[in-house]
Amino acid sequence: MPLNACSESPRAACPPADDEMPVAPAKALACRQEIISTLLAPRASISPKYFYDQRGSELFEAITRLPEYYPTRTEHALLQQHGHAIASAVGRGRVVIEPGAGNCAKGLALCRSLAATHFVGVDISLDYLRTAVLRMRQALPGLDARAVGGDITAGVQLPADIPRRRRLVFYPGSSIGNFDPPQAVALLAQMRALVLADGGLLVGIDLPKDRATLEAAYDDAAGVTAAFNRNALVHLNRLIGSDFKPQCWRHLAFFNAAASRIEMHLEARSAQCVRWPGGGRDFAAGERIHTENSYKHTLAAFDALLRRAGYASSQAWTDARGWFAMVHARA
Ligand SMILES: C[S@@+](CC[C@H](N)C(=O)[O-])C[C@H]1O[C@@H](n2cnc3c(N)ncnc32)[C@H](O)[C@@H]1O
């Protein structure tokens, strides 16, 4: 524990555990302890999963419409352009499982093109997901669509009546880039464990490109990404009872070429002491909280991660600029 850390006593308050059950106190306590331990680490950090309360989900959707944010529209275009080839490779009539489903817009497009029988969206931001799944049921009345709340890094609990055969895990949005390579391998392996031998994974990855394009995508002129980044502090204030003042933190986003990743941080504009019940931490002016990594893998590097996670073979589709890829891996 750093010298400037105050003492800590536990108090529970955290996101929902799943669709049906109230938050288990043990889970809530573990979540609170996780947040506080990363805030008290010598290099403070917040897991990017804490971007996503209702407001964070809305801000992310606003980001996807920004001119600088190429990933969403590039990935949508890829799904449109290569829809038939993807459907032939993946197979129709699938049970689609989407971890981190958000507004389910891509899940809806995929379910339509695959004539999927079932869809299970899983997300930490459950109210937002529920609304999206309701829209999905209206758009595709023949689809059995469900919303499941939970943290995908803690293991996905699917409803017991979801068929085991013909499952496809769909993980778009380059969300896999939020994980360090060993964590990414573990998560990919966990996704593989959700499917049988007839199943697979369809995953979106953001490919390396010029620094200016990358940095603009994470630091837009309108300041929406900055608001999204600072919203994590508002969310933490609710979760652990802290008194972060979001306006006192500067949004930073830059490309770390050595690690091939965008990093997002919040930098203290001045010295400040942040308190929460039972503890707190002093931050010096200029001190940072690391809030997100977004790795930009080459196709070869990503294929190596898939193999380490146990996948048999993979096939990729990219856009004409080579900015983004949809990768299908067989279990
Ligand atoms: C970058 S957005 C992508 C949304 C959507 N899949 C897309 O491609 O547009 C990440 C989504 O994953 C969810 N999420 C982030 N971390 C999560 C976690 N650990 N467990 C469950 N959901 C998570 C967020 O709430 C958000 O909806």
Rounded Cα gap, residues 140 and 112, in angstroms: 8
Contact 5, 275 (CB under 8 A): no
3-state DSSP assignment of residue 314:
strand
CA of 63 to the centre of ligand 1 (A): 13
Expressed as residue numbers, the domain containing 247 is: 26-62+223-295
Q: What are the φ and ψ backbone dihedral angles of 286, each rounded to 5 degrees?
A: 90, -10
Contact 293, 263 (CB under 8 A): yes
Q: What is the pLDDT of residue 24?
A: 66
Token readout for 302 is 């990503």
Q: What is the pLDDT of residue 161?
A: 98
Question: Are 187 and 324 in a shared domain?
Answer: yes
- The atom number, within ligand 1, closest to the CA of 56 reads 25
Rounded Cα gap, residues 33 and 232, in angstroms: 16
Q: Is the CB of 225 under 6 A from ligand 1?
A: no
Question: Are 136 and 39 in a shared domain?
Answer: no
Q: What is the pLDDT of residue 23?
A: 54
Residue 184 belongs to domain with CATH number = 3.40.50.150
Residue with CA closest to ligand 1 atom 16: 49
Question: Are 42 and 142 in a shared domain?
Answer: no
CA of 122 to the centre of ligand 1 (A): 8
CA of 101 to the centre of ligand 1 (A): 6
First-residue to last-residue Cα distance in the chain = 42
Question: Are 228 and 205 in a shared domain?
Answer: no
* Residue 173: half-sphere exposure toward Cβ, Cα within 13 Å: 18
DSSP for 56-107 reads HHHHHHHHHTSTT-HHHHHHHHHHHHTHHHHHHHH-SS-EEEEET-TT-HHH
Question: Are 283 and 313 in a shared domain?
Answer: no
Ligand 1 pocket test, pick from 35, 52, 120 with the greatest ligand atom count within 8 Å of Cβ, gives 52
Rounded Cα gap, residues 254 and 210, in angstroms: 12
- Blockwise average pLDDT, block size 10, the chain, 331 residues: 40 39 70 96 98 98 98 97 96 98 97 97 97 98 97 93 98 98 98 97 98 98 98 97 98 98 98 97 98 98 98 95 98 95
Specify if 16 maps to a domain: no
Q: Is the CB of 151 under 6 A from ligand 1?
A: yes
Q: Is the CB of 47 under 6 A from ligand 1?
A: no
Residue with CA closest to ligand 1 atom 13: 100
Rounded Cα gap, residues 256 and 294, in angstroms: 10
CA of 60 to the centre of ligand 1 (A): 9
Q: Is the CB of 52 under 6 A from ligand 1?
A: yes
Residue with CA closest to ligand 1 atom 11: 100
What digits encode the pLDDT tens for the residues 202-243? 999 999 999 999 999 999 999 999 999 999 999 999 999 999
Specify if 200 maps to a domain: yes
